[in-house]
A and B are shown apart, each in its own frame.
Chain A
Amino acid sequence: MGASKLSGMQKQVLSLYRGFLRAARSRPIEDRKRIEMIVSTEFRHNSKEVDRKNFQYIEYLLRLGTKQLDQLKSPAIVSLSSIKVVTSKT
């Protein structure tokens, strides 16, 4: 009994989510709240809509998310347009 064992792909998703939350933490409070809201909405939307067996698409989303996270971490990036783009696409 207890929490089921997470699959490797699940761990990657949670790791990415964690990375976004950590990156948001270093931002000013208003930016941080917006980032957290956008990221949370996006992950929860995908967790509902994406077929868990569609590994190819999930891998694509993981790569896309990792790229966006790298952008978010860059001090040169001050806007959130790249994240918004994905949000509007879904």
Chain B
Amino acid sequence: MATQFSASVSLQTSCLATTRISFQKPALISNHGKTNLSFNLRRSIPSRRLSVSCAAKQETIEKVSAIVKKQLSLTPDKKVVAETKFADLGADSLDTVEIVMGLEEEFNIQMAEEKAQKIATVEQAAELIEELINEKK
């Protein structure tokens, strides 16, 4: 269920309400970059967490947006914000794989495949990236 925000309101909401932002995580997390089996993931209760800082989050979102534009060959003036869905930019599932791979390389992280496959918006990507970066510290 997605609500549309204007860019400025979106930023404020993002900073003020980070504790409310969450997405469902799979019950099982693969430790390998690749899985040979497919299975139904049980939906777990969304977890709440604090982001490190609003500034870092905005920076991450901007970086993610830049990579998405590059990967999809969008013009620089194309508007990409936190709530933008990759699908709304014309990305199919193969494009999304490429975006995720590009993000992994840029931020020097590895995303578990099950989590990566669930990413559909810039914000979801940014959240997972910051989560993974924090785990490395």
Binding site for B on A (CB under 8 A): 1-3, 6-12, 14-15, 17-19, 21-22, 25, 40, 43-44, 47
- Residues of chain B from 111 to 126 with CB closer than 8 A to chain A in the complex: 113, 116-118, 120
Contact A2 B94 (CB under 8 A): no
- Interface residues in B41-73 by Cβ distance below 8 A to A read none
Secondary structure dominating the interface of A: helix
- B93 pairs with A21, CB closer than 8 A: no
Instruction: Give chain A residues whose Cβ lies under 8 Å from the Cβ of B98.
Output: 21, 40
Q: Tell me which of B39, B113, B120 contacts A2 (CB under 8 A).
A: B120
Residues of B at under 8 Å CB distance from A? 1-2, 33-36, 38-39, 85, 87, 92-94, 97-98, 100-101, 105, 113, 116-118, 120
**Which of A19, A22, A43: most chain B Cβ within 10 A?**
A22
Contact A8 B38 (CB under 8 A): yes
With contacts A14-B93, A44-B94 taken as known, whether A21 is within 8 angstroms of B117 at the C-beta atoms is no
Query: Which of chain A's residues have a CB closer than 8 A to the CB of B97?
Result: 14, 17-18, 21
From A7, A10, A18, B34 is in contact (CB under 8 Å) with A18
* Contact yes or no, A40 B35, CB < 8 A: no
